[in-house]
Amino acid sequence: MANIVIIGTQWGDEGKGKMVDLLAENADAVVRFQGGNNAGHTMVVGGRQFISHLVPSGILQGKTCFIGNGVVVDPAVLIEEIEYLQNNAVACGPDRLMISERAHVIMPYHKMIDNGREALKGDSKIGTTGRGIGPAYEDKANRSGIRFADLMDEDFFRSKLEALLPEKNFYLKGFLKVPPADLDTIYGQYVEYARRLAPHVTNVSVALDKLIREQKQIMFEGAQGTHLDIDHGTYPFVTSSNTLAANACCGSGIGPKAIDAVIGIVKAYTTRVGGGPFPTELSDATGDFIQEKGAEFGATTGRRRRCGWLDMVLLKNAVRLNGITGLAITKLDVLCGLEEIKICTAYKNGNDLLHNFPAGIETLTGCKPVYETMPGWEEDISAITDFERLPPNAAAYLKRIEELTGVPVQIVSVGPRREQTIVLENPFRTG
């Protein structure tokens, strides 16, 4: 029996969706524990592409899926996803998908505030997706959020709306200069959402505790990446929740003793969407090559991803913060055809050589990467499923990642499909 956490080690978009879908075969349940529909997990199954924003990726494997209390949920998006999956013959009923009664609900005014703020900031905006995730977490911390438990009680829900909207509308009209939110419209919409989702709403903590006591295997699925964490990321260019492995416990209602392994998902290079410092970013033909070959566009926003070499300062920081026990390398195939490949092993900041990820945003912005160079390979690796058949230079690149992180590579992805994977060690079987 093993319970594992899947974590992105960079700035998100590492390929967690494929890894969760792949490993879900060995799991009894899959839990999403933080974030909102600002994340997009892309899976290719049987030649068909599925993009999940809220429903855990394990749904495609027929697993019991949970949305934990640490997630902020847009009910309209969730209903749309459920209907999409059901229309594509993927079972997604209340026995298959459960929502924590303690999860907070994204309201229309959250999205209005999110977009209004970004419009005011102009060139200094942080690159939010505009989905209302940040304002929803603000209300949660401010003790003025609306949870699914609140939404299920129609009279209580209306009383909360009546108490909250005057302040929200004062801010919307007076500061952001946008039209106010209408109480009756919101109430009518959200009562319908509540009735539709009520069969899915339950005490997820109790349900997971039961599975743990029955020695079932559970996979905890994170969204975004380590360096978008609200505490440990490149603040303020971060998301609004804790993306680290430790939040798998807080965000789903289980104790830390239940976690047996943490798998860090690492793209074979580095990407970032939106604003924020990016020491290894490539603004040249190599960056364009990686971006085009890797089809690097955000699954949620469609925005072009910035691309750069693998950053070991970033990765080693993620290993320490998450207690990572194994690595899954994705998109190794994208590097095929490059004459040489670089790995950033340190940062140079003025006269200082930095081996640890700095907290200061100005310091990080001024950092220059220190590289070591490895030979590339020309061979197509997209059909290889045995590590021993990899080109020597590709194998050497993976071995170097192991050496620099001190963590074993357990899985290597060489393409978007499930079968385009090299499994050296299954974390469930060894957990």
The Cα 98–Cα 267 span in angstroms is: 30
Torsion of CA 399, 401, 406, 412, to 10 degrees: -70
The Cα 404–Cα 413 span in angstroms is: 20
Q: How many CA atoms lie within 13 A of 228 on its CB side?
A: 29
Identify the active-site residue in 13, 21, 114, 229.
Answer: 13
CA 40 to chain CA centroid, nearest Å:
7
The Cα 298–Cα 83 span in angstroms is: 23
Q: Is 31 helix (H, G, I), strand (E, B) or coil?
A: strand
| Assigned token pair, 31 | 């839990």
Residue 373 phi, psi (nearest 5): -110, 135
Residue 340 pairs with which residues in a beta bridge?
Answer: 375
Q: Are 413 and 14 in contact (CB under 8 A)?
A: no
Which one, of 320, 392, 386, lies nearest residue 400 by Cα? 392
Residue 13 falls in the annotated catalytic set: yes
Residue 373 pairs with which residues in a beta bridge?
Answer: 342
Residue 321 phi, psi (nearest 5): -65, -35
Residue 41 falls in the annotated catalytic set: yes
Q: Cα–Cα distances in Å, from 353 out to 317, 347, 361, 397?
A: 16, 6, 17, 24
The Cα 223–Cα 244 span in angstroms is: 9
Q: Cα–Cα distances in Å, from 301 out to 6, 13, 363?
A: 22, 12, 29
Q: Which residues contact 253 (CB under 8 A, 6 or more apart)?
A: 68, 69, 100, 102, 204, 205, 208, 209
The Cα 208–Cα 50 span in angstroms is: 26
Identify the active-site residue in 21, 41, 104, 200.
Answer: 41
Q: Are 205 and 69 in contact (CB under 8 A)?
A: yes
Complete DSSP assignment for 137-181: HHHHHTT---BHHHHTSHHHHHHHHHHHHHHHHHHHHHTS--PPP
Q: Cα–Cα distances in Å, from 84 out to 38, 55, 87, 431?
A: 18, 11, 5, 34
Active site residues: 13, 41
